[in-house]
Structure 1
């Protein structure tokens, strides 16, 4: 799977559940698909569009959850 619109997120438990819901909402809003890959360093959230990825990054920042581009 392509990884150009992915963010590596450092969250667990309820924070991760919250982010899954936000990712789903943002993907639906932007009419793109999204998926999650568990990796050794965290969780990779990938979107089919850059606009959804950027909105998700902003959501992470607003919630105080650390993330970075893969």
Structure 2
């Protein structure tokens, strides 16, 4: 999967589990794949399309979890 539709989040433990659930739900609703892996600082979440990425960014914002393009 390309890194153009990726966000790096700074979360751990239960917050990270919550974000993985959100990513799965968003990807399923958008009918796209997603992945997550460790980044230099935080965890990288990648989606197949930009719309899913933006929806995930909004979810991060609403949960108060910092994220940035990555």
What interval of TM-score do these two structures reach, taking the shorter chain for normalisation?
over 0.9
How far did 1:37 drift? 1.3
Regions of 4+ moved over 6 Å: none
TM-score using structure 1 length:
0.97
- Unpaired segments of 5 or more residues in structure 1? none
1:36 aligns with 2:36: yes
The Cα of 1:7 is off from its aligned counterpart by: 0.1
2:61 corresponds to 1:61: yes
Partner Cα distance (1:52, 1:36) in 2: 14
* Structure 2: stretches of 5+ with no match in the other structure: none
Q: Count matched residues.
A: 70
With the length of structure 2 as denominator, give the TM-score of the two structures: 0.97
Partner of 1:50: 50
Which secondary structure does the structure 2 equivalent of 1:44 belong to? strand
